[in-house]
Amino acid sequence: MLFFELFVQGLIHGSMYAMIAVGLTLVYGLLRILHVAHAGLFALGGYLGLLITNATGSLALAMITSALIVGLGGMLVYRLCYQPILDRPPYVPLIASIGVFIAMEEVFRLVFGPYGLTYNHPHLQSQVTLLGLNLRGAEIGMVITAMVLLGGLSYLAQNTRIGIAWRATVDDPEIAESFGIDAVKVRYLNFFIGSGLAAVGGIFISLLSNLVEPTMGGVPAYKALAIIVLGGLGNVKGTLVASLALGVVEAFGTIYIGSYLDRDAIAFAFLIAVLMIRPQGLFTGR
Amino acid sequence: MGIYEISLATLVGINIILALGLNMISGFCGQISLGHAAFYGIGAYTAAFMAKAGAPFPAAVLAGMVLAGLVGLAVGLTSLRVRHDFLAITTMGVGFLFLGVVRQQEILGGELGVSGIPSPGLEKTGYMVLVLILAAFFTAFSLWIKRSWMGFAFEAVADDEDTARVLTVDVAACKLTAFAMGTAMAGVAGGLYASFARFIMPDDFGFITSITVLSMVAVGGIGSVFGVIISTVILTLMPEFFRFISDYKLLLYGALLFGVMRFAPEGLAGFTRAVRKAGIRSAGKKEAAG
């Protein structure tokens, strides 16, 4: 029973990682940038979601609004932060991105205070029993939302004109442009979708811990970086598998080897072990 | 000099050794590391426990240097397997792994850290002088490496690994040497820090520290010894200058990192080079006109 419970907990965490990591891997696939500021957008999503939920009482409204606003925020980050330095060596956008992330964390701290905010609607923390497990409503909601959003994204990428243009640009930007695809528009779309997903992930993690705080983006974001590397950098399918795998490894690891390593260290030990065996990540290609 | 200035100068010296170590790996040899603080931590913890066990100060720092260098060599082995962004994330993972191990082991002090580290047996001014002499030594060492044949090979690896290999540069040996030397320097810095602060805790060696060191290197101009030293001095002292707006100092720090990368991506060294070039060009024009 414990085995099953740990497995389910792992998948729940994994689906949260997936929502953050997909945005990162999309950015990497298109621009070859490790987009650390994604973590700031994720925290911004958490803050907006909490503020709107507390003000209006509607979680659905909060999710849609904050996904839209954070999506626009992502486009702004691309325009101001990455576009001017795309042709530089990779550490330049990486450090610029870390700078933006630190500044964003500080803005949250200065505007909303250092101690964090909580939801004032207790029913959001309700529990349900499913398949013999006590799960929180928010956990089930998160898994379903992740499946719907990521399924929708995959439909968009496979079956629509926009999706085809997007995949073509990821494959080969120059040839895609010669076929009349506007690569800049594709990038904006990419940042919009990736950041919107991160915002939804941010709202769910804040529901699970009933807390938003300035530094909430840090650890999930570092793990998301590990995940996209595990998944083969830029490979969306690999990222999804790696997210779930990492969630499960962490859930078991904290129980069985938790006294030697903490949760974050387990995640990175797993990452390093996999990379030593498969230096290109679990999946290759894009 | 008051006590305050003396401890600032000591800290500047320690950070210079730390940053020059990373400059060896990321600047000279082109291997971006996001986990440099782990080696700083290994040096500090080793030196702290050696000193508490009664080892004399030089032996403690030396032990920190050797252990950090050995672990660095092992991490360098990963750089033979994974490259570029994969390596950056792997080294970030090494940083978190170090923190995770230290935090969970009661024997290493756990979350509370290690306190009561014995004094190095020098008073504050003497210790500052010692640290600054060591910083000067590592500066000279860096310059010597950069101008040597090995520095030339490092540069080839940084520029283009595959071409370097074709030109019979032993890429693996270069990377391992750079990692071993750079992390050993971090170990020295850690040992010096442990005896200076006399109290260390896991968070002193976290991801933020790794990023701070990387920004010292990048803001100075990656690979430029003097650029790195100047930016280390500025970035170490900056929080002190901004103390009157201490609430905003991290915000300014983030903005500075972004601003330098956005407007002067080659750092201070690149900026002065550009200014000098512009000066020569305008002088040339004057001559041509005159």
- Tell me the C-alpha distance between B156 and A100, whole Å: 32
- Tell me the C-alpha distance between B113 and A181, whole Å: 56
Backbone angles phi, psi at B114, to 5 degrees: -115, 125
Structural domain containing residue B90:
3-206
Number of compact structural domains in chain A: 1
- The verdict on a CB contact (< 8 Å) between B89 and A226 is yes
User: Shortest CA distance to A277 belongs to which of B97, B171, B81, B80?
Assistant: B81
Give the 3-state secondary structure of residue A47. Answer: helix
Give the model's confidence band at B80: pLDDT under 50 very low, under 70 low, under 90 confident, else very high: confident
- Tell me the C-alpha distance between A126 and A142, whole Å: 14
Backbone angles phi, psi at B127, to 5 degrees: -65, -40
- The verdict on a CB contact (< 8 Å) between B251 and A106 is yes
Q: Is residue B256 part of a domain?
A: no
- Provide, as residue numbers in chain B, all residues whose Cβ is less than 8 Å from the Cβ of A104: 254
pLDDT for residue B20 is more than 90: yes
What pLDDT score was predicted for residue B70? 93
Phi-psi domain of B25 (left: phi exceeds 0; alpha: psi -120 through 50; beta: other): alpha
- Cα torsion for B179, B182, B184, B188, to the nearest 10°? -160
For chain A, positions 105-124, list CB contacts with chain B under 8 A. 105-107, 110
User: Shortest CA distance to B202 belongs to which of B94, B95, B62?
Assistant: B95
Q: Is A22 on the interface with B (CB under 8 A)?
A: no
Per-residue pLDDT averaged across B49-71, rounded?
89
Q: Is residue B36 part of a domain?
A: yes
- Tell me the C-alpha distance between A171 and A167, whole Å: 6
Residue B234 in tokens? 């500025």
Structural domain containing residue A50:
21-217
Convert the pLDDT of each residue in B114-170 to its tens digit. 887 878 878 888 888 888 999 999 999 999 988 888 888 888 888 888 888 888 888
SS3 content of chain B, % helix, strand, coil (to 5): 85, 0, 15
Question: Do the beta carbons of residue B85 and residue B180 sit within 8 Å?
Answer: no
Give the 3-state secondary structure of residue A129. Answer: strand
Least confident of A256-265, B20-29, B43-52: A256-265
What pLDDT score was predicted for residue B68? 93
Rg from Cα positions in chain B: 20
What pLDDT score was predicted for residue A286? 45
- The verdict on a CB contact (< 8 Å) between A272 and B97 is yes
- Tell me the C-alpha distance between A121 and B25, whole Å: 51
Distance from the Cα of B269 to chain A's closest Cα (Å) equals 15
User: Which of B32, B90, B100 lies nearest to residue A91, judging by beta carbons?
Assistant: B32
Give the model's confidence band at B288: pLDDT under 50 very low, under 70 low, under 90 confident, else very high: low
Convert the pLDDT of each residue in B64-75 to its tens digit. 999 999 999 988
Count of Cβ atoms closer than 10 Å to residue B91 Cβ: 25
- Tell me the C-alpha distance between B131 and B126, whole Å: 9
What pLDDT score was predicted for residue B22? 93
- The verdict on a CB contact (< 8 Å) between A102 and B253 is yes
What pLDDT score was predicted for residue A122? 67
Phi-psi domain of A34 (left: phi exceeds 0; alpha: psi -120 through 50; beta: other): beta
Convert the pLDDT of each residue in B231-277 to its tens digit. 899 888 887 777 666 677 778 878 888 888 888 777 777 777 777 77
Exposed/middle/buried for residue B18 (C-beta within 10 Å: 0-12, 13-18, 19+): buried
Q: Is residue B229 part of a domain?
A: no
What pLDDT score was predicted for residue B42? 93
Convert the pLDDT of each residue in A225-265 to its tens digit. 888 888 877 777 788 888 888 888 888 877 777 677 777 78
Residue B63 in tokens? 């032990």
- Provide, as residue numbers in chain A, all residues whose Cβ is less than 8 Å from the Cβ of B94: 268, 272
What pLDDT score was predicted for residue B150? 86
Residue A251 in tokens? 């859930």
The answer for residues whose C-beta is within 8 angstroms of residue B263's C-beta and 6 or more apart is: none
- Tell me the C-alpha distance between B139 and B233, whole Å: 14
Q: Is residue B286 part of a domain?
A: no
- Tell me the C-alpha distance between A253 and A261, whole Å: 9
Q: Is residue A13 part of a domain?
A: no
- Tell me the C-alpha distance between B87 and B76, whole Å: 10
Q: Is A91 on the interface with B (CB under 8 A)?
A: yes
Count of Cβ atoms closer than 10 Å to residue B101 Cβ: 17
Count of Cβ atoms closer than 10 Å to residue A42 Cβ: 30
SS3 content of chain A, % helix, strand, coil (to 5): 75, 5, 20
- Tell me the C-alpha distance between B188 and B13, whole Å: 11
What pLDDT score was predicted for residue A132? 67
Count of Cβ atoms closer than 10 Å to residue A15 Cβ: 23
The answer for residues whose C-beta is within 8 angstroms of residue B156's C-beta and 6 or more apart is: B163, B164, B167, B169
Average pLDDT score over chain B: 85
- Which one-letter amino acid corresponds to residue A242? A
pLDDT for residue B14 is more than 70: yes
Convert the pLDDT of each residue in B154-176 to its tens digit. 888 888 888 888 888 888 888 88
- Provide, as residue numbers in chain A, all residues whose Cβ is less than 8 Å from the Cβ of B257: 95-96, 98-99, 102
Q: How far is CA B279 from CA B226, B265, B275, B284, in A?
A: 21, 20, 6, 8
Query: In terms of CA atoms, which chain B residue is nearest residue A96?
Result: B258
Name which of A110, A223, A272 to mutate to probe chain B: the one with the most chain B Cβ atoms within 10 A of its Cβ.
A272
Spans in chain A with pLDDT lower than 70:
1, 122-125, 130-133, 258, 284-286
Q: Is residue B288 part of a domain?
A: no
pLDDT for residue B281 is more than 70: no
- The verdict on a CB contact (< 8 Å) between B88 and A99 is no
Q: Is residue A62 part of a domain?
A: yes
The answer for residues whose C-beta is within 8 angstroms of residue B168's C-beta and 6 or more apart is: none
Number of compact structural domains in chain B: 1
- Tell me the C-alpha distance between A200 and A53, whole Å: 13
Give the model's confidence band at B86: pLDDT under 50 very low, under 70 low, under 90 confident, else very high: confident
- The verdict on a CB contact (< 8 Å) between B248 and A110 is yes
- Cα torsion for A4, A10, A13, A19, to the nearest 10°? -110
User: Which of B81, B84, B255 lies nearest to residue A99, judging by beta carbons?
Assistant: B255
Q: Is B283 on the interface with A (CB under 8 A)?
A: no
